[in-house]
Structure 1
Amino acid sequence: MSLVGKSTQQFRFLAPLGEGGHGHVYAGYDEKLDRRVALKVLHRDQRLKPQAKARLLREARILSQLDHPHICRIYDLIEGVDHDFLVLELIEGKSLKQALRDGDLKPADKMRVAEQIADALVAAHGRGIIHRDLKPGNVMLTPEGDVKILDFGIARLLNEEIGPQLDDLETVADDKTTADFNRDPEASVPRTETGSVLGTPAYMSPEQIKGEVTTSASDMYSFGLILQELFTGRSAFDFKLPKAMLLVKVALAETRPITGIDGDLAALIKRLQSPEPAARPAAVDTAERLRWIRDKPRRIRRRWLTLAAMAFLVLTAAILAFQAVRIGSERDRANREAATAREVQRFLVDLFRQSDPQDPTGRRMTAEQLLQRGAERINSELADRPLVQAKIMDTIGRVQVNLGLIDDADPLLTRALSIRRREPGAEPLEIAESLTSVGILRRWQERYAEAEEAHLEALAIRRRQLPADDPLIARSLAELGIVYWFQGHLRQSMQALEEARAMIERRFGPGDERLIEVLHRLSYAYLYLGRFADAERVFHRVLELRQRFRDPYDAGTAYTLHGLGMVYEYLGRFADAEEYVRRSLDIRETALDPHHRLVAWSLAELGRIYNQEGRQAEAEAVLRRALDIESVAGSSRATCLSNLAAVLTNDGRLEEAEPMHREALKLITEHVPEHVVVAEIRNDFGDHLRRAGRLDEAETQYRLALEQLRAIDPEHPMTAQPLNGLGALYLARGQPVVAAGFYRQALAVGRQNGHELASTAHSHCGLAAAAARLGDAAEAAEERRLGVERWRQMGLAEHPHAVACGG
């Protein structure tokens, strides 16, 4: 019977909040102290059971010992004539379980939640208290994002006598609650015949589910399961398994692999999930490790900044040396340039001294703060030396671009170019240097026409001023090549990059470090031209050069790994694709800020791979994280939106997906209208419209995608995707002859250069369906066999499409 509207002593029951095996929880009002509270009331039929009353009393005593900002506080225990209840702090907000389901936690929020749960466990375990039912449903998040741990109803003290005296007399929940916890992984189960199983199976430690002695290490195991779900977006166990099998996996600690997150965080979670309690870290060690992981990007950036400082000084020294060589014939200009170089060196040395760990003032500055300080000082200290000003502006602006601080870099680089253009003493090569910097900045801003203009002018200056094989000319060609690539002008991109490659190889040889950036960009041009064998070969060559010359966590290595992942995704080698993209993500999260847009790029590709493997829940989680990061309206956000929309379409959530498809198409056509990715986004939108039954609209998108790809190359392998779409569309229209024609075209372009695309599985299965409708049983059987075999080769024999094809 509901207590809403009733009062006991000074407490009024306002509204129900929840119900468990032993009682109800209500929102209440304390009229004496004028505050809202939560009232946890024993069921009427439980009041006569000594063990139930003992549990309520025990929870009250335990909570009274815990005064911690991340643990729900107790105000009182009321033993009335009709009701016994706890008076608790009322927590506004939502449970972690709901927040995970909604997918609205950003990466920084997740780390904050993890640290606060760990801090609460430090406090509880420090008092000798074990929670024993730690799970997302017992963790509340306030509107401010702070953690509050609830429900110490089955907690116990470490020094409490262990035995059957209480737990063997009771069950945790009635049959209705435990009928099928596969539907709700946070449902409880009753005790076994031989011992007590108190808690929630999906979040229990192995020793707990076996009815063995529980310690604080049991809470840490449960915490490890929560962390895996929190950071990967996927529960540690597959709740779709039969209950008996799931219980066996829980008892054996056979959790899912931990993927898609920082390596150190994954290692910590694995330690927490150790089957042996003694091997699990304590709460205090876990809290400290989480803080260390949170601060890792900051430490990496500080180390990177130190290396950057050294590089600046080496560069300055090189400038000085270069000037010395030229002094004989151009003494006046050489002296001026040498003086400029010394001024730059002095400024940089003084600036970097501010971040020296041995600085007696004890100051500590982040990379962003240091660069901002430098930008501010330029105006005040160097107003009378404009060329020195311009050199330092250009240097700091380039570093800011590399760190993703695009808005900070823009005024510095733009002004440096303006100064060098107007100052009569500026050298043409200095103007070319600024033009190159501005061109790179404009590329990051997706202002490609301006980027192209800047690089063309820089290239013209360098061709006039330098020998024909100078590496600076090759640098301009490489920058121009990547701008052409983003514009979708792949032939022009290839031409510029091949010229740069040949220039460097002629002068320095095929193993020179200068080839890295040129070959890296060339491999991406091969990729989008559909020359996958060439792309794979060149990407691996770049990787070898990076391993020889660069730090393993060099941000450029992530680009190369990402590109290889894309190659293998197109070829249907999804396990390889995932491996390379994960390595790319690990580097970017370590070497850059976790919210850097390049992290979003890796996440977007990872989500695309998951979607093709039929792992929609994981795909959605990583793609929503990518969208949280990539908030700027541009081609990268368009890709994230399109990939997420494709996931939702495959999941049957068509109404939710369509606005994302439309926004993605709008953004991509505004920013890079001729790029190959436009065709991919049109194709995904066509798939969506076809599934929605809007076949005419779908055909328009497929044909536009086909037209764009054929403009690049009439036999472009990626044309297989819209051709497959058109085949499915004409099957839906009841025209199997036309459908079969499209599928055969798709198969022809999908088998080139000794490779077979992932799309050929769809082509074979679609052609089998068309043949069956035409009454050709033999062809249908053969195409079905080939389709199922291709799915098997890709490691996706159980994919729904593979099963449907085989059936």
Structure 2
Amino acid sequence: MTLPAGTRLGPYEIVSPLGAGGMGEVYRARDTRLGRHVAVKVLPESVTADKDRLRRFEQEARAASALNHPNILTIHDVGTEDAAPYVVFELLEGETLRERMAHGALPPHRALEIAGQIARGLAAAHAQGIVHRDLKPENVFVTRDGRVKILDFGLAKLRHPSGETLASGAPTIASTEPGVILGTVGYMSPEQVRGQDTDHRSDLFAFGAVLYEMLSGRRAFHGESAIETMTAILQDEPPDVPAATAGVEMTLRRCLAKNVGERMQDANDLAFVLEAIGGAAPASPLAAEPAGDRRKSVAILPFKDLARNPENAHLGVGLADATITELALVHSLIVRPTAAVLKYQDAALDPQQAGRELGVDAVADGSFQRSGSRLRVTVQLVATAGGKSLWGAKIDTTMDDLFRMQDEVSRHIAEALEIELSPGDERRIAKAPRPGGRAYELYLKGRYLLLSDTNLDDLNAAIEVLEQAREADPGSAIAIVGLADAYTRMGFSFDPDGDWYERAQALCAEALALDPQIPEGRYLRGRLLWNPRSGFDHAAALREFLAAVAGRPNLVEGHHHAAMVMVHVSLLEEATAGFERALAINPEDQFAELHRALSLYLRGFYSQARALTEDIVPRAGSAWAPYQLAMCHLHLGETADASRILERAARRFPGDVLFYSLRAVIAAREGDRSRALEQVDLIVKNRKAFGH
């Protein structure tokens, strides 16, 4: 019987019905104590009549209420009124995943975003020993702001007898009794169909079926009857999904493996893989960016010192770098990185010309005058097309208050470009770490010196200045990360046998203890994990790089390194997309160009890879580009061209082991075994730590 408006269930006053299902009727209600609206599910008489089931209902609801996770429906309360048991949970506005899929498949990036959030919710539940056992589109809710919520944790398990606890120390939850079939046909795992004992891996099978349906618009297993559907689950493999990349297809197959031992084993690992192949932020709400919208782009040129004082050289680049760093937090804006604009530091150049060269919509050009601790900054924002002034200002500040000026400039630029900051942008900007007072100028100077880290003197100077910044503000996570970055570069480039790596690790851990999500810290930890001393921990490093770009969407190094890891774990389509994201931020990133071509080469697109690499070779600073070009020619059957490129490059980069390798391959192709082995011996004698 439907409850009329005004009915009281304890402190909850019924407002209106929301829907009904097999486990009871759901109502919108008002919590009279807190004045908030909630959802109340009133359970059917079958539960009321069975005291044991009622006891288990309360026990399971309380256990589920302990799952405090943004991707799991929050349970507020349980109670009984006039012998009617009810459960109170958060009121959601939006639609179920089933309703969202009413018109067919979802766009792949949306499906992966939703899937990533489902996986995070499952991981949180599994960590508490709770298994859903009835995951399906009806039990996944997508709120209006894009947050995914898993519904009916614990409640679905009321449909079967009680058994043992799932894990020692975990909440006592009813478990499957052997021989009892549990779940929804079409989403049950093979072990559920057989009535066997199940664990968290059954949820991962159901997850695979849900993801398959989101991507294809059809069920993974479907028959004319329940028996036919269950037979398909036990015997059939669903067809490939045309919209799925190789990485997505591989993930689907691992989730839908019939043998539980061959299946994906952990929901956290599953979430990580989805973030890697989708480039999505961990547990992030769905982006509200309309499909097809082109992101606006801007470049911030180094500020000019009107007094031309060499002591202030760091400020011109530092002020631009600080503004770039803040604007890089805005998801809907492309900001050219500092490395791309550094060439304009001493150039007398029209901003429009710089804008055309950099391929951006607008350019910010500025100057400054310093007098002791006082600073006057003049900034103008000019449209590349037409040269119209979009915004300009003179700002007076002090050296101890630089970040306020930086924040003001960044916000005015965003407003002038008609960029509306999203709640996520606002959160990232508000959390952006900045050293205080004197430490900030020292940090900017250290960053400036690190831009020329191929110079040992500059790197030593950067370390000295950044150590001073850390001393000036010991609680500044960003200053500590800056120093850790300098130590890392020293160890990687100049003193690999020193203790720089260990010192960088310790500083990185210190910074992340102060600010666990600081993007620069997550990126640097990824670098430290992805090197020979850490055994190239691909999974952990990729997780760090993805977290870094989630926090700073324009962090070009994060996109690039994430894509490099993907190359090494054979997520090649995703790697190509990652390099393209890096190139969208900085089209002049030669390494991203080269590595994008590499990813295409590894995917078998030899002609495309050859064309891209040919353009890079004249500008290349290492042997890899000509080596890669020669390999493209080899795979296209153009051995003579490969040999010609090889010998020309060997004169340009004498002694590089890559060319011994290439000569060995060519000799082997030509059937010259002794010459091939001779080149292999030279590789062994001349190998280097990073030789491929």
**Relative to total residues, which structure has the larger helix share, 1 or 2?**
1
TM-score, normalised on structure 2?
0.41
**Relative to total residues, which structure has the larger strand share, 1 or 2?**
2
**Max radius of gyration: which structure?**
1
Task: Work out which structure has the larger RCO, using CA pairs closer than 8 Å and 6 or more positions apart in sequence.
Answer: 2
